[in-house]
Amino acid sequence: MGLRQLAVTGLLAVAAAAHALVPRQNVNPGPVSGSTFVHDPTIIKTPSGTYLGAYTGDNVQLKTSTDRTVWRDAGPMFPNGAPWTTTYTKGSKNLWAPDLSYLNGRYYLYYSASSFGSSRSAIFLATSTTGASGSWTNQGLVIESFDNSNWNAIDPNLIVDAQGRWWLSFGSFWSGIKMIAINPSTGKRADNQFISLAARPNNGGAVEAPFIIRNGNYYYLWVSFDRCCQGAASTYRIMVGRSTSVTGPYVDKNGTPMVQGGGTQMMSSHGSVHGPGHNAVFRDNDADVLVYHYYNDAGAARLGINLIRYENGWPIIY
């Protein structure tokens, strides 16, 4: 091999290495069809190999798919209503930000009751053996916040750590993302631990929608920065940090703690994808799967699905 060839080969190797270090941001959503309206989606793969999703809507709305691509509406979780939530929703039927899990032969769904701009909020738990509309039993209040709490009991996410311990992260604006321990026997709060995971003290507190997943030696805390719910003008963006402990501290790629505003950007508005955020992640046979909502040019909320791989200990969306 001549000197010129060696030089070219060396430059290509350097370029490839540099490319591997650059986060792949702003890929377009993968193919989805059918009923694709969602807000704050959560999806799991069921024991039968199909997919069950839930999202913000009247009495929590459900969707199903057999192939992760074509989705159909599957009705409300509570077809007869959820009157125990109206103290927090000011009478609205709209229940927010559900979080689905399948554990110990049962479906668990944590969900939020609140009103826009308020910290008078609550997280409840419901369980089901089938996941179908009308099959859910409300198990009651998990945690609530008040007007003077300086934290907000919405946007729950359940994680079971490597030791089998259950933890619930949650939070929106105010002092940021929090975590409590959960008793696996009840699905309710286990003790008085109250852990801070992420905050944006210099950005109006604009962080919410935590989701934690473990891969290898790391726990990854996904969150959304900035503003949701403004149609195509939404500024939501998906961020991530990591920790070797489920309770943190979580840091971004630059080493900035997430409790000090850190977070590595994974996706933001681009093209006809506006305000992507409130993501969840589930494990499938081919990859970890990222699900989120975004707004199209007309301002309608749509389901986004992409795959994730991990390079150098960090997630890459593709």
List residues with catalytic annotation: 40, 208
Q: Which of helix, strand or coil describes residue 205?
A: coil
Q: What is the C-alpha R_g of the chain?
A: 20
DSSP class of residue 275?
E
Bridge-based pairing of strands 51-55 and 57-58 is unpaired
3-state SS assignment for residue 96: strand
Contact by Cβ (8 Å): 178, 209? no
Q: Which helix (H) or strand (E) holds 267?
A: strand 264-267
Strand order in the sheet with 137-145: 57-58, 94-103, 106-113, 121-128, 137-145
